[in-house]
Amino acid sequence: MDWEFVKELSGMLVTVIGGLGVFLLGMKNMSEGMQAVAGGRMRALINAVTNNRFMACGVGLVITMLIQSSSVTTVMVVGMVNATLMNLTQAIGVILGADIGTTVTGWIMISPISEYGLPMMGFAAFFFLFSKNERLRYTAMLILGLGMVFFGLILMKGGFAPLREMDGFRELMARFRPDNYFGVLRCCLVGAAVTAVVQSSSATLVITIAMVGTGVLDFETAAALVLGENIGTTITACLGAIGASTNAKRAAAAHVIIKVLGVAWITALFFPYMKLMKTIVGADLITTTVLVKGIPTYTHAMKAIAMSHTAFNIANVIIMIPFTTVLASILMRIMPDKVAKEVSHLKFLDVRMLDTPAISIQQSQKEIMRMGELTRKMLVRLKDIISKRGRDEVAEGKIFRREDMLDVSQKEIVEFLSSLLSGNVPHDVMDNGRKQLRMADEYESIGDYITTLLKLNLKMDKGDMEMLSETRDEIIQLHERVLQYLSMINEAVKEDNVRIVLKAGTLGDAITHLIKEYRTNHLERVESGDVSALKSLIITDMLNAYRRVKDHALNIAEVLAGEK
């Protein structure tokens, strides 16, 4: 055994794997830093998605440029389709934009400042570790991530350099040269397979660029591998669609179809396309090298790879974007809706969005507002039940079902936010997440007390007990006041109106005073013998339940204002 060769190979692997690890961690830090700095803009972009395919495409492009991962964007889109927040046509538009946005990674790799990765890391690390200004810290985190990306690329270049001198590797690569159409397809399959395993086209792209830069791969072979990497990256969205709704599966399928069709037409034109790229670059890709950190680097070949990647994706989007509606219609025919109604536990949330905290926290807020609307509808139904004589089993069933929905919502919101907040998230996301956890608990408690009111009313009905007309009128008036109060709090949550706490406190005191007045009136009726002891206990419990509903609604207003 040639121990010298083994030593050289192991040293190369350690350097390459280390460089890849630094690169991936840098991508993560860069993405998180950018999301923290530009989170508000990302939320505005998502809200701007309409049925206009060009607007959706632009949104996908910008978001992917911000988070530097088309995989995260497409998985997030699958999650939003699954949560019915985006229709299929909108999703296809965003996915097309993401295909262009992801090409920015290639240009970052060949940036002239890439050789300054290490000093960028050192400079940014001091601000990230010692600055108390959160925005400055996350900006430093972004720069730190970018420096790690550059430094990882340099490490990988150094690691791959010895491969040029290995006869065995040259013989292996000779089998995969794209000398003809089938050779191009073989390279595409290799690129697709490696990317499907790694689940990051950015990682495989940077490895390809590093190998081109050191002369290990020639331009044509690398370009064919990159085309395959475009298909391999769709595996992430496919995995994200497992267990999702039919519409979400259609969005993942659309991503696959767009990439496969794109690679199909570009491979048919592969050789003239390569010639065009060489002409545009305007340099000899084989012999032109530049010393970077003492390593001869084929910078023009690297530029040609980034250019071919970008040009392909832009051309593919231009070809595909007129057919987004047609593609959506075809997918709806191929993948029809299930006969049984598909119901997700949460209407607005999906764990697939956890990689984008700035958007996730907005969607969890919508689920909180939905809980508020459920409690309001429960009170509306309960008013009809109390106002009528006799039972209304349909209305009663709806209240009990909505209370079960609130329990499920609270449980899953807690699980979702716990996963979200356990990561590296900005202070505003952390603060909003804690508020939402508290509001979810308060709304669930309101649902419990509304159900208690219904059970007390049923208890009277089963015992053939009937309220005095005066008592019923007071209960209905109190119910209306509490309903108006809860509706006001719900509207404040929707508008993020922190000033509502002052008004809520005043109106809450008025409701408390009214409850005390009605309790006094009730006790006078008990003393006069008009009300039995059991009925008296039920009425007292109802008054207490209304007070608890008001108290929990006031708690929500205080949480909104940051007082709890």
The 3-state secondary structure of 125-171 reads HHHHHHCCCHHHHHHHHHHHHHHHHHHHHHHHHHHHHHHHHCHHHHH
Residue 204 lies in a domain: yes
Please indicate, yes or no, whether residues 91 and 185 belong to a single structural domain of this protein. yes
Residue 510 lies in a domain: yes
- pLDDT over 60 (residue 340): no
User: What confidence score (pLDDT) does residue 216 get?
Assistant: 77
CB 228 within 8 A of CB 183: no
* Tens-digit pLDDT profile for residues 485-530: 999 999 999 988 888 989 999 999 999 999 999 888 878 777 777 6
Where is mean pLDDT largest: 234-243, 279-288, 346-355?
Answer: 234-243
Q: What is the mean pLDDT of residues 25-44?
A: 74
Q: What is the mean pLDDT of residues 152-160?
A: 75
Domains of the chain: total: 2
Q: Which H or E run contains 292?
A: strand 290-292
More confident residue, 189 or 425: 189
User: What confidence score (pLDDT) does residue 373 get?
Assistant: 93
Q: How many CA atoms lie within 13 Å of 551's alpha carbon, on the beta-carbon side?
A: 11
The CA-based diameter of the chain, rounded to the nearest angstrom, is 107
User: What confidence score (pLDDT) does residue 446 get?
Assistant: 94
Question: How far is it, in rounded angstroms, from Cα 520 to Cα 11?
Answer: 86
User: What confidence score (pLDDT) does residue 510 get?
Assistant: 93
Please indicate, yes or no, whether residues 181 and 260 belong to a single structural domain of this protein. yes
- pLDDT over 80 (residue 276): yes
What does residue 297 show for φ and ψ, rounded to 5 degrees? -125, 135
Residue 97 lies in a domain: yes
What is the sign of the dihedral through the CA atoms of 13, 14, 15 and 17? positive
- What are the tokens at 138? 């996350």
Q: What is the mean pLDDT of residues 18-32?
A: 80
User: What confidence score (pLDDT) does residue 343 get?
Assistant: 44
- pLDDT over 80 (residue 42): no
Q: What angle do CA 412, 418, 421 make, to 5 degrees?
A: 140
Q: What percent of the chain has pLDDT over 90?
A: 18
Tell me whether residue 369 is exposed, middle or buried, using C-beta atoms within 10 angstroms of its C-beta: 0 to 12, 13 to 18, 19 or more. Answer: middle
Residue finishing a domain among 317, 334, 351: 334
More confident residue, 354 or 237: 237
Please indicate, yes or no, whether residues 392 and 249 belong to a single structural domain of this protein. no
Please indicate, yes or no, whether residues 18 and 135 belong to a single structural domain of this protein. yes
Residue finishing a domain among 334, 351, 384: 334
User: What confidence score (pLDDT) does residue 168 get?
Assistant: 58
Residue finishing a domain among 298, 318, 334: 334
- pLDDT over 80 (residue 461): no
Please indicate, yes or no, whether residues 313 and 378 belong to a single structural domain of this protein. no
CB 103 within 8 A of CB 263: no
Where is mean pLDDT largest: 18-32, 55-69, 373-387?
Answer: 373-387
- pLDDT over 80 (residue 252): yes
pTM: 0.69
Residue type, 188: C
More confident residue, 170 or 494: 494
Please indicate, yes or no, whether residues 368 and 328 belong to a single structural domain of this protein. no
Q: What is the dihedral of CA 144, 149, 150, 152, to 10 degrees?
A: 120
User: What confidence score (pLDDT) does residue 70 get?
Assistant: 74
- pLDDT over 50 (residue 361): yes
Residue type, 520: T
User: What confidence score (pLDDT) does residue 484 get?
Assistant: 94
Of 83, 102, 37, nearest to 347 by C-alpha is: 83
CB 450 within 8 A of CB 546: no
Q: Which residues pair with 290 in a beta bridge?
A: 297
Find where tokens 């019923």 sit.
Answer: 472
**Chain-centre distance for alpha carbon 555:** 29
Of 509, 504, 506, nearest to 489 by C-alpha is: 504
Of 5, 22, 18, 66, nearest to 357 by C-alpha is: 66
Helix (H, G, I), strand (E, B) or coil at 424: coil
- Which of 169-173, 387-391, 460-464 is the least confident region? 169-173
Residue 383 lies in a domain: yes
CB 489 within 8 A of CB 504: yes
* Tens-digit pLDDT profile for residues 304-315: 888 889 999 999
Please indicate, yes or no, whether residues 166 and 307 belong to a single structural domain of this protein. yes
User: What confidence score (pLDDT) does residue 262 get?
Assistant: 92
Residue 509 lies in a domain: yes
The domain that contains 524 carries what CATH number? 1.20.58.220
Q: In terms of residue numbers, what domain contains 84?
A: 3-334
User: What confidence score (pLDDT) does residue 341 get?
Assistant: 47
Q: What is the mean pLDDT of residues 371-398?
A: 85
User: What confidence score (pLDDT) does residue 547 get?
Assistant: 94
Q: What is the mean pLDDT of residues 451-476?
A: 81
* Tens-digit pLDDT profile for residues 188-246: 898 888 888 777 777 788 888 888 877 778 888 889 989 988 888 888 778 767 766 78
Q: Which residues pair with 291 in a beta bridge?
A: 296
Please indicate, yes or no, whether residues 42 and 115 belong to a single structural domain of this protein. yes
Beta carbons within 10 angstroms of residue 409's beta carbon: 24
CB 96 within 8 A of CB 314: no
Residue 353 lies in a domain: no
Q: How many CA atoms lie within 13 Å of 31's alpha carbon, on the beta-carbon side?
A: 23
Q: Which H or E run contains 296?
A: strand 295-297
Please indicate, yes or no, whether residues 32 and 113 belong to a single structural domain of this protein. yes
- Which of 38-47, 87-96, 285-294 is the least confident region? 285-294
Please indicate, yes or no, whether residues 134 and 211 belong to a single structural domain of this protein. yes
Residue 184's contacts (CB-CB under 8 Å, 6 or more residues apart) are: 178, 224, 227, 267, 270
Of 420, 452, 442, nearest to 546 by C-alpha is: 452
User: What confidence score (pLDDT) does residue 79 get?
Assistant: 73
- pLDDT over 90 (residue 106): no
Helix (H, G, I), strand (E, B) or coil at 299: helix
Please indicate, yes or no, whether residues 300 and 381 belong to a single structural domain of this protein. no
Please indicate, yes or no, whether residues 309 and 368 belong to a single structural domain of this protein. no
User: What confidence score (pLDDT) does residue 316 get?
Assistant: 92
Tell me whether residue 562 is exposed, middle or buried, using C-beta atoms within 10 angstroms of its C-beta: 0 to 12, 13 to 18, 19 or more. Answer: exposed
Residue 350 lies in a domain: no
Residue 342 lies in a domain: no
